[in-house]
Structures are given as C-alpha cells and as structure tokens.
A and B are shown apart, each in its own frame.
Chain A
C-alpha cells in the first residue's frame, strides 16, 4: 500500500502508530457502520432497496440493522475511551486549521506540524462520536416504535436521518483520505505501523515525541 514498498528502502525504520486494540475497534466500527449504511440506504430509498437483497433480503436487513448499530455505538464509545486525550483540540490545531487549504491542495510544506491526529482527523472523530450517539438514541425510537409517543417517533426519524446524512458525508471523506489520498494511512490502520518519514511528514509533533526528540 504505502509508497515505501515501491522504493525498496527496507532499512527504513517503522514505528507503531495504532495498537491492536485501536485497530480492532476501528475495524469493528468500520464494518458495522458499512453494514448499517448498506441496509440503511435500502430502507432510505425505493431505488436503493435492492441493496437489501445483497445482504439477505429486507427482513434480514431489518433484523440486523439495529444490532449492527449497537456494535457500532459500542466500538465508537470504546474508541472514545482510547483516543479522547489525543483528540482534544490543541493550540497547534488552530494554526493547522487556518492552513487547512494547503492540506487539501497537497501543499503540505506550508502546513504547521500536527500531533498524533491532525485537526481534520479530530473533527471526523468528534463528528462520528456524536453521530453515533444521536444515531443510537434515535435508532431506539425507530426500533421500539410502538412503545413511545408519536412526537418522539417523529423526532427520532428527523434525528436519525440528519445524523445519518452527516456521518455519511464524513464517511465518504474518511474512506477517500484513508485509502486513495493519504498513502500509507490504510496500511497503518491495518498493520499498525508507519514509516518514520511518513510519521515525520504527517504528524511531526507526535513523531518527535515518539522517538524521544522532545
């Protein structure tokens, strides 16, 4: 995956970026989210109802969608437990956020250094955390529809739809950046390791701390 494979620099040192615990919960969240996305889109539009057939039919999709949502919520909350300190906004983030234009345009030399996570990653994390909480709570309203008053049913629909669309926006950007755009990111969350130059380039403050230069 990473470009280092193309350039045979076997001696380049690799450092641990994600622990096994972090990677397991990331992928648990990722897979359960994708399942909820496929089945949720099937319920969302008649033109996408065929997606339900892909995962075993409408009734099967309906049965597992809420349980997959429970798995997603638990794994996101677990990631909060793992990452909430690293995800707190710092002064370095404000400088980075002002220069985000350069990140988008791949002018990375003009960017201020980032910590373990850059400001964009932090935004995505908090978006998914709050998204998961809102999707879970409103999902309960859709799940146990017969047990709640009408106003709560209708509030649940509105919240579930809005939260789903916002997380889908984040999800599209996240998958794009993690695979196509930021090379090395995908292998990092699979194997847990990145090259030193990757760490220095993308997360210099974290890199310096990790190698004990500060």
Chain B
C-alpha cells in the first residue's frame, strides 16, 4: 500500500531546483538476484520483516538451512536451499531468494475478481490492496510462482510489495539494502538486464559455467525480479522455479472467452423463457379442463 504522492515537476516562483526531483523512479524497476554470489545469510529475510513490521515467526527445520518450507503471509522473502548433484557427482548448494516476481503480465491480477484488490503501478510493481481484497484466493490460482498467501485472521491475501513505499520515495527495497555480498541489485529493468547478461557472460567465459544465464521468463511478459542462475536450463533445481511460467490456460479461459460465452448463455436463457411466455403463455388447468369438458 503506497503512501506515495506524485512527484512535483515544476513549482511556481521557486528559486532553484524542485526538491526531491529525480528521486522517484519513473521507469520500470527491477530487482536482480545473482544466485552465484548469494551466501544464504538471510539478511534479506530479516530486513524484509523489519521494514514491513512483521514479527519473526516460528521456523520449520527440514535438515537444510532453509527457514521454513515456503513464504508465508507475513514472511514474504525466503531463501530456498537446495543440494543438487551434478552429472560428475559433485554437489552444489544452490541458494535462491524466493519472493513475488512482479510479472509484467501478472496472473494474480488477471484472476482477481475484486475491484481494485490488485494493482500494477506504472513502475511495474504489482501490489495487493488489502482494503479491497475479499480473501477469495483466486490470485493463488493465477500465480505460476505460488506466491500469494492468505492470512486467516484478517482474511486477506499478502505478498512482497517490492517495498513500493520505499521505492516511490527514492529508496531501494529493504532486502537490497541489507545484502552484504552485493548479490542483490536494484534499478531500471534495462540496467538490470544489462548487468545480469554481463554477469552471465562472465560466468560462462571465466567460471566454466557453460549454462549460466538470466532468468526473465517471457511467458509472463518478463518479470520485475530477475535471476542470474548457474544453470539457466534447469531452474527447477532452485527450489521449484518454473521453467516456462505463464498464466495457467484454465485461468485465461475462465477470465476470457468463458466469461462471454457464459454471459451470453445466461442472458439467452432469460430471454428464451420470456419469449416462450409471450408465444405460448401459461398452462391454466381449469380452463383447459373446461374446454375438454365442452368438447366431449
């Protein structure tokens, strides 16, 4: 939920520059996560809780360093730890910061039935507006990344806001601010793509990672969170990152053609019975019995 007010461009009779000019990004923003330099310290997890004002919640131990199995309604940022065995028998410990991907074509937004419960800002951030949310969970059906979560107490859905309240004030998201290795970057989508491609090229050419690449899935129009992966051909190894995510076809059918076919059918049904009444009218027993009686 943004507290933002619009950035002022011009001020009347004001000597000097406009205060705060050029602080709020006017471009599509993007978070870059370089999984090859993440050390799994979870500073981003703590920073997320700190900034958003949630208490630390109970952890679930599963023989890895992972805090809990999945993100929760008040735990939006989770590093997923995965031990993966390579073809040569070597073990890699893959660490991926999991959170909302801020899709350019958000499945949650497409699926949502409540007016104004999910918005996409002009800077690309996808945000839930809890005051309009009805807690139906349709967004869960639309999301290919399994991100929206239900809070049973308030009966509202929650997820990462990409710190839109910080970004609109010219700050970077809390997770970016806290990262000690610099594996998290924040800026325009174009800049982050350039940086990510440069890093992937470096990994391919100098680190022997032939499959290193950038994860920016086109199936959802690209994402506002992109990854550099050691092996971009196998994103599933990073704790279930889908290879070709898209809005599920059932959801697209449901929110698209099915709506109009259904609406036309329902209107046709009502029209049909009205026309039947006008053409044939009601069945009145007594009249017909009398008529029959008169005939016999």
On A, residues with C-beta under 8 Å from B are: 2-4, 7, 9, 42-46, 49, 52, 57-59, 61-63, 104-106, 108-109, 142, 145-146, 150, 153-155, 157-158, 161, 165, 168-169, 172-173, 176, 180-184, 195, 197-198, 200-202
Contact = CB atoms under 8 A, between A and B. Distances in A.
Interface string B39-51: 0000000000000
Q: Looking at chain B, what size class is its interface with the partner chain?
A: 35 or more
Interface stretch (B54-62, B91-99, B202-210, B248-256): B248-256
A113 to B, nearest CB: 14
Contact of B254 (A46, A145, A161): A161
A169 B269 contact: yes
B155 A44 contact: no
B259 A157 contact: no
Given A157-B254, A181-B282, A182-B283, A146 B270 contact: no
Given A105-B280, A154-B251, A202 B285 contact: yes
Given A154-B141, A165-B265, A168-B266, A183 B283 contact: yes
Given A44-B262, A45-B263, A176-B276, A3 B250 contact: no
Quick one: which of B115, B250, B251, B289 has the most chain A CB within 10 A? B250
Interface of B: 113-115, 132-138, 140-141, 146, 149-150, 155, 248, 250-251, 253-254, 258-259, 262-263, 265-266, 269-270, 272-273, 276-277, 280-289, 292
B105 to A, nearest CB: 18
Contact of A108 (B115, B150, B266, B283): B283
A108 B250 contact: no
The 7 closest A-B pairs by CB, nearest first: A58-B134, A176-B273, A154-B250, A145-B137, A62-B134, A172-B269, A43-B113
A106 B285 contact: no
B269 A61 contact: no
Secondary structure at the B interface, as helix, strand, loop or mixed, is helix
A58 B276 contact: no
Given A62-B136, A142-B137, A181-B282, A176 B277 contact: yes
Given A142-B141, A180-B282, 4 more contacts: A62-B136, A157-B141, A176-B276, A202-B285
Given A3-B286, A106-B280, A109-B292, A146 B149 contact: yes
